[in-house]
Amino acid sequence: MRKHPLIATLLGLKGNPRGCVYAEPLWGIPYNLYTPYASVFMLSLGLVDRDIGLILSLSWICQVAMSLLSGAITDKLGRRWTTMIFDIAAWGGSALISALAQNFWFFLAAGIVNSGWRITQNSWSCLLVEDAESDQLVGIYSWIYIANIFVGFIAPIAGLLIAKFEMTATVRGLYFFAAFMFTFKALFTFFLTKETGQGMVRMRETRGRSLASILGGYGSVLRKILGSRATLYTAALMIIISVTQMISGNFWAILATEKLGLPAKHLAIFPFVKSAVSIVLFFAVTPAIAKLHFRRPMAIGFILFAASQLLYALSPAQGYALLFAGAVLEAAGLAIANPLVDRMVVLSVDPAERARILSLLYVGVILVSSPFGWIAGELSQLDKSLPFFLNLGLYCLGAVLALAAASPRAGSAATLGHDPRA
């Protein structure tokens, strides 16, 4: 019997893609346990919506510096060592601070420390794809999402613990657990991988050079980005995904509890629903999407995202039905659009300068995205639904950009994520 294409991809992974994909649940398990309650946990310790928005924006400003340094650090230390060091510091360290949090300043410190994930975002992305075959990219990224979706099924455990022990104490415990698991995952990935071929080249080229001198070469890298329409379209879509997911991740729980009156113990049900729908869709549609030009599937994905935000914004008090429908549509958008955006990021950059190009792309994404944490906080202070109307508009823009990026003037099909060999 012929294996499903995604199963064949998973079993056929070798080297660094295998090490990165197989280790991913070790990050996803703790992250999915505490994330639905992060903003509610802050509120329980005396913070208000405006405080949460301010923390988001300030931490994102710190992420600008981390992203700018990420390419130079990744080239200097290598993809493998950079990933281990900054995974432990940014994820393990910030989770530990959050576990000990007492007030606004603890959460601000956790946000600043966590900004280091922008460095490991770059190094881990290079470690994942640089030695991979291009026709495996949709499958590889799909499995990254699937790994984190599967572990989303454990999210209701947090709800059961909260019902038994009380929300604040439970979330503290989940953060302690996360600090341990994030550290273990970083070490596990390190021992399952090796330095990439391009990583070894860049380590030789940067040996004996200071970070300042490496950063000095960013001018030519920036000119490459600005001269590539494909990369610019990709950057715009990255910004939309970044802003909308930041808003949803931090203000959905506030909408559900503060405006719609849902008990905190019920919040974990919705990640469970999204996980179930996403898993089905990944296996049902991903093999077909991998063979198509990205244009229509990506636009459809953004439209589904937009519809989900409209349902969230219009949900009445105790409006479980619309919230569940929104969760289903959001899961469908994720399964369709996100792997295609990730593939565009890989295929639209020069492989020889991947780390530094990604570094500048992430800087641009953060600079544009960072004010939206504060904006969303102010909007939420006025009406808990307003951040989701903002998301609605951004996702509609994403659908338009996905269609525009497919025009001949935007770049070739191969450059924009449709590999002719697929």
Report in angstroms the alpha-carbon separations of 211 from 60, 94, 217, 350, 351.
22, 25, 10, 21, 21
- Confidence grade of residue 395 (pLDDT, cut at 50, 70, 90): very high
Alpha-carbon distance of 412 to 293, in angstroms, equals: 11
For 5-410, the fitting CATH number among 3.90.550.60, 1.20.120.1200, 1.20.1300.10, 1.20.1250.20 is 1.20.1250.20
Mean pLDDT of 15-19: 91
pLDDT at 391 over 90: yes
Q: Of 24, 21, 13, 18, whose CA–CA distance to 185 is shortest?
A: 24
The pLDDT of residue 419: 35
Percent of the chain past pLDDT 90, that is, above it, reads: 38
pTM of the model: 0.73
Query: Counting every residue, how long is the chain?
Result: 422
Report in angstroms the alpha-carbon separations of 68 from 61, 119, 234.
11, 9, 18
Instruction: Give 272-300 pLDDT, tens digit per residue.
Output: 788 888 888 888 877 777 666 677 888 99
Instruction: Give 78-111 pLDDT, tens digit per residue.
Output: 999 999 999 999 999 999 999 999 999 999 999 9
Residue 124 one-letter amino acid: W
pLDDT at 74 over 80: yes
Q: Of 245, 214, 194, whose CA–CA distance to 20 is shortest?
A: 194
Domain boundaries defined on the chain: 5-410
